Structure 1
């Protein structure tokens, strides 16, 4: 296959992914929002320090996702929508993407959020994101999954071991047992309470909640924020 044909195939594949992601974003917004919220005129002032993010530190736009590792819609977002946001905005230096915790489904939600936060605190940003994406990929598709404890500590440790050394896993386990994640998790939860967030995933763009229903509206809000 010629280089030109290869480029065309890659471009076509990307736009197919974009179209699928647009459909998924519309579905995700529909499923995750219990009611329409009016857009607030003032942006919320997040403290982004000590928060995991992907992208250029100097990017002008901050995108925040509040998520739950037990949430099936968050899994769909992570696998179908986030890669498009990453390619369009994060990899191009237009935006940074932050993840903040809203663990609400069951005990698993809290345990996995606390363990992932510990990974960030102990092993750093790069390892956190590898673990973050891997953990979502391992979320079962059983419709009864939300009601079942699945993310036990041994499972979380084995998942981390896929991308880290045994020595690092032991470091994280010790820090987890010592609750080094406590302040960071409480910080995320305080935002959830203050902002009245009641579903996941919930997105913010430069401090303003995304309340639209289409990917086009999302792009427009990011572009407006960049100005």
Structure 2
């Protein structure tokens, strides 16, 4: 009799273990399925709103390149110093592509400040001044990432190398009034929606570039221009 009770107890325990394992496996399948569906597919085309975004190139160029960058990111500086000149010469000047810059400031606290200030420069002084300021900031990027280098004074002094005192004051006033707020929020919404986690992140006609070299990137842009 005692033996029979033990067997029943053992069978009951086994039954509940199977149920628990099945529930856990089901929950895991649902979780992984949701994660997979949330991830943007590499071949998906994202529809950017390019209005009120700084860009270089012919408005009618067939290829739209988007760079998400951070002014404190060494890889972004490398892109600006080595790849941008090739893009400028082979793609922008030939009318094949135009290049947009969008902000993803995350390296350090002054990443945010420099993005805010550069966005304000664009809003107040226009596209041409923005790009000069953009390249100037990368030329001044400090070697140490974890330093609060891009102070408001450094940003104003840098802008003063390009424009007159009245324009600097105009930008400073707009910066203090947070005129950059909506534009930066728009960039951040793209970062969130596209699940961008590094810089520079590059898109060609709305598709994320997933190649392993900048040579591949240039070739993909050229191929896109032929379509």
Q: Same fold (TM over 0.5)?
A: yes
CA contact 2:83–2:214 (8 Å) conserved in 1: no
Partner of 1:120: 122
Partner of 1:11: none
Partner of 2:57: 55
Matches of 1:162 and 1:156 in 2, distance apart?
10
Matches of 2:187 and 2:130 in 1, distance apart?
16
CA apart distance, 1:222 = 1.3
CA apart distance, 1:39 = 6.0
Partner of 2:146: 147
Give the paired residue count. Answer: 188
RMSD of the alignment, in Å? Answer: 1.4
Partner of 1:202: 201
Q: Does 1:70 align with 2:72?
A: yes
Matches of 1:38 and 1:195 in 2, distance apart?
7
CA apart distance, 1:105 = 1.1
The normalised TM-score by structure 2 is: 0.80
- Greater Rg over alpha carbons, structure: 2
Matches of 1:156 and 1:95 in 2, distance apart?
30
Report the 3-state secondary structure (helix = DSSP H, G, I; strand = E; otherwise coil) of the residue aligned with 1:146: coil
Moved over 3 A (4+): none
Matches of 2:218 and 2:91 in 1, distance apart?
9
Matches of 1:111 and 1:221 in 2, distance apart?
33
Matches of 1:98 and 1:225 in 2, distance apart?
16
Contiguous gaps of at least 5 residues in structure 1: 1-36
Partner of 1:99: 101
Partner of 2:14: none
Matches of 1:114 and 1:38 in 2, distance apart?
28
Partner of 2:89: 87
Q: Does 1:43 align with 2:42?
A: no
Partner of 1:224: 223
Report the 3-state secondary structure (helix = DSSP H, G, I; strand = E; otherwise coil) of the residue aligned with 1:180: coil
Contiguous gaps of at least 5 residues in structure 2: 1-38
The normalised TM-score by structure 1 is: 0.80
Matches of 1:116 and 1:152 in 2, distance apart?
13
CA contact 2:91–2:222 (8 Å) conserved in 1: no
